[in-house]
Each structure stands twice: as structure tokens, then as C-alpha cells.
Structure 1
Amino acid sequence: MRAIFVMIKCEMGEAYRVAREAADSIAQLSELYSTSGQYDLLGKFYLEPEQDIGLFVTEAIQKLPGVKDTYTLITFNAFAAASGEAPGNR
């Protein structure tokens, strides 16, 4: 599994409804936070290695009613606080 983070900008007044819909309908969603600033929500999603990131974002997230824009961050390594190593390198 690989993690991606997607920042989601919603139509005015729609952030909580979008968050509920995402939580109820997207199986790959791990965590979803409301945020301040340019974007309204920050989601962490786990995808299979062969899953197309662009297709996932456009089909699963951007098509949610009330979503205005997205910004996707692709991750490379996750580091543990205690050792500073990537979990797969232990």
C-alpha cells in the first residue's frame, strides 16, 4: 500500500457535507481532517501499488458533490519517530 495526501477545496459551506460523503463512500480513506487556509480538508488515502493515482483522484474525490479543487501530494517514505528509518527498512 502507498499513501497519498489530497487537499480538498470545497464550495462555500460544503466542507462538512463533503467530509461525511467521503468518509461514507471512499474505502481507501484512512484519515480526513478539516483545515484552515486555502483548502478545507486534508485526506490521507492508501492505494494499491498498481492503482492509478490520477484516476483515483478524479473519479473518487473530484466527483464528490461540493468539491471545487484538489491538490495531491504523493509520498515516498514514512519515517518512524523513534528511529528515523522508513518502516520497510528495519
Structure 2
Amino acid sequence: MSPVNESLFEFPCDFPIKVMGKAHPDFIETIATVVRQFDPEFDASRVEIRPSSGGNYTGLTVTVRAQSREQLDDIYRALTGHPMVKVVL
């Protein structure tokens, strides 16, 4: 039997993270800054942007180069704790 905490991913790997927040002119750069704290090589030009149909929210897909499960957990914690972020998937 394999250990419970064994990762399903092989690191390093590209890992997409979906982030939703209120539409704001600085939202994309703010999220990129948060992600760069944990992935200094993060390329903001690879961010996919989807405005909501009403224009009130912005959805982003940020793809990080994950080195470990701990790094991903840290990114998720930082994003979910950020006041501009509503949802992280």
C-alpha cells in the first residue's frame, strides 16, 4: 500500500490554478505578485483571463511551475487569504 500523503503529481510540473475575484484594474498584477513570492520564474504573460458575463468579476488561470506539494499549498493559502480573491480552484 502506498502512503496516504503520496503525491499524484511528479514534480516539477506545470500546474494551473484558477482564481476568481472582483473586477479590478490591478487584479492580474496583484495575483502575479502573490504567485511570484513562491514561483520567482512565474510568467504573467501565460495568465488566461476571463471576465464574467456581467463584468463584475474576473477569472484567471495562472500556471505555475510547481516544485513540490508544499509550494502549491503555500500558493493556495496565500491566494485564498488575499482580500481581492473570492475563490481559488
CA contact (8 A) 2:35 2:75 kept: no
For 2:49, give the aligned amino acid.
S
Gaps of 5+ in 2: 1-11
Structure 1 runs not aligned, ≥5 long:
72-90
1:50-89 to 2 correspondence within 5 Å?
Answer: 51-59=70-78, 61-71=79-89
Moved more, 61-70 or 18-27: 18-27
* TM-score normalised by the chain length of structure 1: 0.57
Q: Percentage identity across aligned positions?
A: 7
Query: Could you tell me which amino acid in structure 2 is paired with residue 51 of structure 1?
Result: E
Does the 8 Å contact 2:20/2:86 carry over to 1?
yes
Q: Are residues 50 and 34 of structure 1, via their aligned partners in 2, closer, same or farther at CA, if it must alter by over 3 Å? A: closer
- Paired residues of 2:13 and 2:67 also in contact (CA < 8 A): yes
* AA of the residue aligned to 2:19: I
Whole-angstrom distance in 2 between the partners of 1:33 and 1:62? 19
Equivalent residues, number? 68
Structure 1 residues 25 and 7, CA gap change in structure 2 (3 angstroms): closer
**C-alpha root-mean-square deviation of aligned residues, in Å?**
2.4
Task: Give the C-alpha shift of residue 20 in structure 1.
Answer: 1.0
Normalised by the length of structure 2, the TM-score is 0.57
2:47 maps to what in 1?
Answer: 32
Letter in 2 for 1:56: I
Cα pair 1:2 1:46 within 8 Å, conserved: yes
User: Whole-Å Cα distance in 2 between the matches of residues 67 and 50 of structure 1?
Assistant: 21
Letter in 2 for 1:10: G
TM superposition shift of 1:56? 2.2
